[in-house]
């Protein structure tokens, strides 16, 4: 599928790092409008989860130009040394709301007239050719098992571009859930950019995951935020304290890996919902395809205090030989 035809929701998930709903794009940027600025680069923060470029325009005003994670830009072929402090660039993107001098970047024109497509789905604006291809994020490696390979859960899995893990609709809240949502929206809860997300949002990412056989445990590692979940094959003798990732216990049932998570202590459902209660439960089902190249992902979230009915999630992963998990190193350039 050409990236120019991807849905807005998929693009936003990809560009945001997709974890924990850290940012609501519509709340900060006018996604239905575009604006252009030209100016001198005064600083560059080349970090996860969001690259930021600071540009001083001809009127002496400094603009904050925000992009997706550096891991995404790197996979698209855009590297740090392409943008130099002191040079003059042109930027096109979605303007910030209100009087904020901010842009969510789509296109960058360098002094040598090289155009960078700095967002998934962006198309050339100033030239017929440009640098930056979001499709490379998803198609690295062959869609085939390695020679002599067998069907297995224990591989690196890449989210399918048209079916990234995400909620199916918005949650139906109880009265208490609505009260907590109102408090969350009023700014009571804050989410730090480098905070490792809790369940179930820890799995809502457009970046690869790896499922690892660790004997009496299964590890689920995620590129985003250098995530590492521990899934016990048997419940531990002593219950750990509640935590953002909770206590996960898994079992195999035919072609499915079923993981049940409880004891979640995470302050929100991200932009999509309020704080969970201590009765929140997450059931994940990873189903391996017959050819071993696909992994369907189905999630059911229940919380009698917050949710009036179960909240379902879903997505699909594919296996590509040669795929890798890159280091996230949040906030580190």
What confidence tens digit (pLDDT) does each residue in 2-13 have? Answer: 334 444 444 555
Q: What is the pLDDT of residue 165?
A: 80
pLDDT digits (tens, 9 = 90+) for 135-152: 655 554 556 666 667 889
Domains and CATH numbers, the chain: 3-139 (2.40.50.140), 156-318 (2.40.128)
Higher local confidence (pLDDT), 39 or 8: 39
**Phi and psi angles of residue 250, each rounded to the nearest 5 degrees, phi first:** -125, 160
2 vs 326: CA distance, rounded Å: 24
330 against 219, higher pLDDT: 219
Give me the long-range contacts of 127-133 (CB less than 8 A, separation at least 24).
131/77, 131/78, 131/82, 132/73, 132/76, 132/77, 132/78, 133/3, 133/76, 133/77
Burial readout 89-117 (b: 16 or more C-beta within 10 A, e: otherwise): bbbbbbbbeeeeebbbbbbbbbeeeebbb
Report which of residues 8 and 70 the model is more confident about: 70
């Amino acid at each position: 599928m050409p990236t120019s035809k991807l849905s807005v929701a998929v693009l936003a998930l990809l560009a945001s790092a997709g974890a924990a709903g850290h940012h609501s794009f519509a709340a900060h940027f006018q996604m239905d409008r575009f604006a252009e600025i030209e100016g001198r680069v005064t600083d560059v923060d080349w970090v996860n989860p969001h690259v930021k470029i600071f540009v001083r325009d001809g009127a002496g005003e400094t603009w904050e130009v925000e992009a997706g994670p550096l891991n995404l830009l790197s996979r698209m072929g855009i590297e740090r040394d392409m943008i130099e402090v002191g040079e003059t660039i042109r930027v096109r993107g979605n303007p910030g709301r209100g009087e904020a001098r901010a842009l969510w970047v789509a296109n960058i024109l360098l002094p040598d007239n090289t155009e960078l497509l700095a967002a998934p789905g962006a198309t050339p604006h100033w030239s017929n050719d440009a640098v930056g291809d979001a499709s490379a994020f998803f198609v690295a490696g062959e869609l085939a098992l390695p020679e002599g390979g067998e069907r297995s859960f224990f591989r690196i899995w890449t989210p399918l571009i048209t079916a990234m893990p995400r909620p199916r609709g918005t949650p139906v809240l109880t009265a208490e859930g609505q009260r907590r949502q109102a408090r969350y929206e009023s700014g009571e809860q804050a989410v730090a950019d480098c905070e490792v997300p809790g369940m179930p949002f820890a799995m809502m990412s457009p970046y690869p995951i790896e499922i690892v056989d660790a004997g009496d445990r299964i590890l689920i590692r995620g590129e985003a935020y250098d995530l590492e979940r521990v899934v016990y094959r048997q419940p531990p003798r002593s219950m750990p304290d509640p935590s953002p990732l909770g206590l996960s216990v898994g079992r195999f049932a035919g072609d499915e890996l079923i993981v049940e998570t409880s004891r979640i202590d995470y302050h929100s459902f991200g932009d999509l919902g309020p704080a969970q209660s201590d009765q929140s439960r997450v059931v994940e089902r990873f189903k391996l395809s017959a050819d071993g190249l696909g992994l369907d992902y189905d999630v059911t979230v229940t919380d009698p205090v917050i949710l009036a009915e179960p909240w379902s999630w879903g997505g699909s992963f594919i296996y590509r030989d040669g795929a890798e998990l890159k280091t996230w190193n949040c906030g580190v350039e």
